[in-house]
C-alpha cells in the first residue's frame, strides 16, 4: 500500500502507517511454514518503510521498536534473564551503507526503515526490479 501523509507533529502519523505494517507482517509470519528451506534465513525484509531523511528514519525505527516490544510473547516459559527475539524485528538503515548488509548470520529484519537514497542503491546493486 502506498501512502503519502502530512499532519501536525504529534498527531500519530507514524503510528498510522506502522500499525497496518505490523499487522501485515504478523499475518505473514503466522502463515509461513517453519520447515520451508527458503525461510531458513531472511534475505529481504517483509516490509520497507521509506522516510525522507536520517532523523525521521531513526524516529520511525524507535517507534517501531516500541511497538514490537509491546507485542505479547506467546507460549513462552522462560527465565526472566533469558533473551527472546521480538515477534517483529526492526532495523533502521540510513547513511552510506555500500552493500546489502543481510547475510545468514545477520538476517534481514521484518521491517526495514530506510531512506529512498539507500534503498535505490540496494535495488540497483541487487537487481531487485
pLDDT tens digits for 24-40? 998 888 887 767 665 56
Quickly count: other Cβ atoms within 10 Å of residue 42's Cβ: 16
pLDDT tens digits for 90-119? 998 877 666 667 777 778 889 999 988 888
Q: Write down the pLDDT at residue 58.
A: 92
Which residues make beta-bridge pairs with 103? 106
More confident call, 87 vs 41: 87
Q: Write down the pLDDT at residue 94.
A: 75
Question: DSSP string covering 55-116, please?
Answer: HHHHHHHHHHHHHHHHS--TT----TTS----SS-EEEE-S---S---BTTBPPPSEEEE-H
Amino acid at each position: 500500500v502506498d501512502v503519502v501523509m502530512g499532519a501536525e507533529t504529534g498527531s500519530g502519523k507514524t503510528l498510522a502507517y506502522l500499525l497496518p505494517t505490523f499487522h501485515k507482517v504478523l499475518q505473514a509470519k503466522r502463515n509461513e511454514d517453519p520447515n520451508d528451506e527458503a525461510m531458513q534465513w531472511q534475505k529481504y525484509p517483509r516490509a520497507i518503510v521509506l522516510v525522507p531523511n536520517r532523523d525521521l528514519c531513526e524516529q520511525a525505527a524507535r517507534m517501531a521498536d516500541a511497538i514490537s516490544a509491546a507485542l505479547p510473547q506467546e507460549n513462552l516459559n522462560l527465565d526472566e534473564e533469558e533473551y527472546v527475539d521480538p515477534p517483529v524485528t526492526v532495523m533502521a538503515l540510513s547513511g552510506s551503507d555500500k552493500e546489502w548488509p543481510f547475510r545468514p548470520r545477520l538476517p534481514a529484519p521484518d521491517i526495514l526503515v530506510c531512506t529512498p537514497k539507500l534503498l535505490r542503491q540496494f535495488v540497483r546493486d541487487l537487481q531487485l526490479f
